[in-house]
Structure 1
């Protein structure tokens, strides 16, 4: 077992010693390599979006297991869960009035479980909630997303309110994890179930981003014109990329900790 770990640990040590610009370059190269791999392995790239939603659901299931088994919500951000519930609710509204499909059912299930997590944190496990650590103001992300959605939104034939709502949920989803990252930044130690949940979010975000990027490549850019004109198509892709990079650093340390056999993830200063 040790023999198989040594090369991985050697690579991790080498990467850790590199300057930030080299690390960023390696992250971009790794992401591009993963995209190439997915393009040739997954024939129907729509399945990547379904996989992203499934991984998100798995992450929520991990939270439910944590809350039911350990009876504590320590390390979890109530504000991140509330932001998640908001963008899911708005996206469900848009799905019902604009394009009802299988994703509507998946979002409904995720919203219900997210609301249950919020209920547990707010009422059943309130005594273990780290309110002083969960100090990222929601309006820091909600207000800019709302303002941006008024300026840049789809240019389809749908009602203007529905188009603005659609843009709002896309932008809010991209930054909804920031309060959770702030909690982990404040505590510096992330217990296993919370780490599993945030890693699942990172994987889900990457799969969703890969779905959009590969769809654009497959259609040779026609997908962007189908989304409308102006800045909106570019903002959709940018939102997906932002979501992925927000969690990329955490996912690196998560994998490193997992390879090293550590059950508790310890984050160095300035990671999230």
Structure 2
């Protein structure tokens, strides 16, 4: 008679967690998030490096897609519209970066944009036979037009460089909801392809790190950023809201990703 195999610690912990109430899960998630923020703050001296880390993680997510498209020769599970939105906000951010900074952010955005354009090319032309167009149902103008209007509105009283500020706000708005077509695609498909899941999870980590940077800025300046928002600098409020919205959108997916 064979030995009875015991339940693995990971599986036992997962089963225990699943039996807890929603309130318990929410509180535990908040505690883990708080400890993660504290760990980032203590381990990263220059918090501006968090932006660089966020962009690197995003680039790694794109590399996962490139691996899938190159090795598996299939784009099943991928939303073309989500990639097009990604290219739009990266192009806008790259223009801003060239106009204002011209540093490591410019280099990373250039690489990520080039990789994203390659992914779009593969989806549209080379591997379009495996692209499920009928599942990619979110119209782009539902996202692009409201983002453009909102970006112009929050800078209606801004001074030079107005174009850079509008473009920066536009890319933040589009980036915040660029993953929605991909999530809608997965809902329509009623399944999550593994490489796509890895990619979206990488986006979630990227946005958490980026959002952490803004939280630290508010904390270190004693709420100065929020005071400026109240004095008419609406673009600051837009930045904070966009970061928080995108983080929460992706946090829900990351929860189910880890659970799976």
95-104 vs 84-93, which moves further: 95-104
Q: Per-residue CA shift, 1:170-194, capped at 9, x if unaligned?
A: 1111000000001111112212111
Q: Which of 247, 255, 258 is matched with 1:255 structurally?
A: 258
The number of equivalent residue pairs is: 255
CA distance in 2, matches of 1:3, 1:158: 66
CA distance in 2, matches of 1:149, 1:74: 34
Q: Which residue of 2 aligns with 1:73?
A: 75
* Structure number with larger C-alpha Rg: 2
- Kept in 2, the 8 Å contact 1:154–1:232? The answer is no
Q: Which of 152, 172, 189 is matched with 1:170 structurally?
A: 172
124-133 vs 90-99, which moves further: 90-99
Q: Which residue of 2 aligns with 1:86?
A: 88
User: Where does 1:1-272 land on structure 2 (aligned, <5 Å)?
Assistant: 5-6=8-9, 8-153=10-155, 157-222=159-224, 229-257=232-260
CA distance in 2, matches of 1:3, 1:217: 47
- Kept in 1, the 8 Å contact 2:82–2:182? The answer is yes
CA distance in 1, matches of 2:156, 2:183: 30
Deviation of 1:43 after TM superposition, in Å, equals 1.8
Structure 1, gaps ≥5 residues long: 258-272
* Corresponding residue SS for 1:72: coil
Structure 2, gaps ≥5 residues long: none
Deviation of 1:224 after TM superposition, in Å, equals 5.8
CA distance in 1, matches of 2:135, 2:244: 27
State the superposition RMSD in angstroms: 2.3
Q: Per-residue CA shift, 1:66-120, capped at 9, x if unaligned?
A: 0000100000000000000000101111112223221011100000000000000
- Kept in 2, the 8 Å contact 1:89–1:111? The answer is yes
* Corresponding residue SS for 1:190: coil
Deviation of 1:10 after TM superposition, in Å, equals 4.0
CA distance in 2, matches of 1:3, 1:51: 40
Q: 1:191 to 1:149 in 2, by over 3 A?
A: same
- Kept in 2, the 8 Å contact 1:225–1:233? The answer is no
CA distance in 2, matches of 1:39, 1:236: 20
- Kept in 2, the 8 Å contact 1:35–1:210? The answer is yes
- Kept in 2, the 8 Å contact 1:154–1:163? The answer is no
CA distance in 2, matches of 1:158, 1:131: 42
CA distance in 1, matches of 2:81, 2:110: 20
